Each structure stands twice: as structure tokens, then as C-alpha cells.
Amino acid sequence: MGLNLIDIKEGCIVDHTFEVGQDDKKRLRPIRRRGIIVKVVGNGHDSVSKILVQFKPDDKPEEVMAKELVRVYPATSKVARRALARIRGQHEMVGAEFQERRAPIKPKLEDSLALTKGRPSPFVEPEEGSEEEG
């Protein structure tokens, strides 16, 4: 059974299980692919003309027919919401406030040109010109 109109929403996790041939018959795919719906073209209530599903993180979304897909997780589930946020590059904890665990520290200074004098050495160094060993 294909994907119904209620489940066709951005963020719904689906399996690409079937292939529909030219003769309009469904055949099982040799390899089932799991993906997430990233875009729905149409009003989403009465009619849908295109469903774009992303199967791999680096690939572009592919256009797939609704009767070739099977729902795994609805778009409202926690798993689907986290997956969609991860694909879109959003952080999971957007808007959350956290207390700093440690006291603020002084930022380190990088002075490649030695423009400012550094800290004095904790060791007593002999002055130039004296020949003391010890």
C-alpha cells in the first residue's frame, strides 16, 4: 500500500519499497531505500503533484511517486523531526539556554610579531656577559 495523503508532509520518513513500471504494475525493489520527504509540491491537502525525497546526505532530492513509498515514521514523531533538522543543518537545541559550567577564562593572546613584552620567566636567568655556570 502506498503513502496516503495524510502522511505526505515534509519530514516524514519513508521507505522506497516498490517500483511502478510502464504497465502500471508494482514490483518490489531489490534494495529498499530509506529517505525523508524534504519538499512537497502542491497544496498538501487535496492534491500533490510532486514529492521530493532525499535518500543520501550529499545527494540531491529525487522525485518519487507516492505509490512507491511506505511510511516508516510520521512527520510529527521525534525521530523524524530530529532527522529533518539534521539534514537542513539546524542545531537540535535551537533556542535552549544553558548555564556555563566553568568560570570565564582569559582568552589567549597570539603575538607572532612579539609586539608586546611577555611574562617574566619564573627562573633566574644569567645576564648577558656573565660567565656563571651552575
Domain ranges in the chain are 13-88
Contact 8, 48 (CB under 8 A): yes
CA dihedral 74, 76, 82, 86 (to 10 degrees): 80
What gap in Å lies between CA 70 and CA 13, rounded to an integer? 9
Which secondary structure element, helix H or strand E, spans residue 32, and what is its range? Answer: strand 26-42
Contact 62, 53 (CB under 8 A): yes
Task: State residue 72's pLDDT score.
Answer: 87
pTM (whole model) above 0.85: no
Strands in 13-20's sheet, in edge-to-edge order, are 62-63, 48-54, 26-42, 13-20, 69-73
What mean pLDDT is predicted for residues 103-127? 67
Residue 93 pLDDT > 80: no
Which triple of cell numbers denotes residue 40? Answer: 512537497
What gap in Å lies between CA 123 and CA 106, rounded to an integer? 24
